[in-house]
Structure 1
Amino acid sequence: MSTPLTIGILGAGPVTQAIHLPTLAQMPELWRVGKVMDVNPQVADIVAARCGAEGVTDAAAVIEDPSIDAVAICSPHVFHAEQLIAAARAGKRAALVEKPLAVSRAQAEEVGRIVAESGMTVLVGT
């Protein structure tokens, strides 16, 4: 059996709590949550504690952590593209990004170019 991939979650709101964490909990052989980021430190800590992860308040603490293999971008939509680009540049293997991927065509084209260059696998949640 292979080692589970470590995922970092950006945004600990209702979608993360009601959908992503319960889903990941059903696949412990594939995934473990390493860090949960939220701008509210209490929310970050409470949600992280539910899955044995570390709560943080800075997206860079997740994105720049070499132990994080993949990210789930569940932050407010205005941050999706910049966080996805940062994750691709940081060498993350994969990302789930909630809709929308970007807030403009130019931003979406930049995301597409950088993700293609990095070889990252990206799934947009709808």
Structure 2
Amino acid sequence: MKYYFFSFLLFLVSCTKNQNKSENVLEQSYDFYTKGKEIYELNCKYCHTRGGSGAPPLWDFNDWQDRYKKGIDSLLENTFKGYVGKKGIMPPRGGCFKCSKEDLELVIKYMLLIAKVYPPQDSNL
């Protein structure tokens, strides 16, 4: 799977005119995928794999699509501060107290990617 992902990224890089932009897209893609996955595996997997505490499981496309429609900034704010909703709770920073807002944004994008909601079709990522 990783081979196909990185092959696709290399294809994207080769199709763009601006090399600096291409390098930036590749770097951003790599960061949110690798670092986002690492943070997810250490801090988020327990609840979001099985839907514990009302957390939306990654396989629930509709649930994640509804959340994504509110915007990444809204997801980031709820993740950072914590959130109590109708279905369950999200602890502040998802329980990852060493995670910065930038780290949390990477893991949110990773989770949206796995849920097949992100990136939007008109995006560079």
TM-score bin, normalised by smaller chain? under 0.3
Greater relative contact order (Cα 8 A, min sep 6): structure 1 or 2? 2
Q: Whose Rg is larger?
A: 2
**What is the TM-score with the length of structure 1 in the denominator?**
0.24
Greater strand proportion: 1
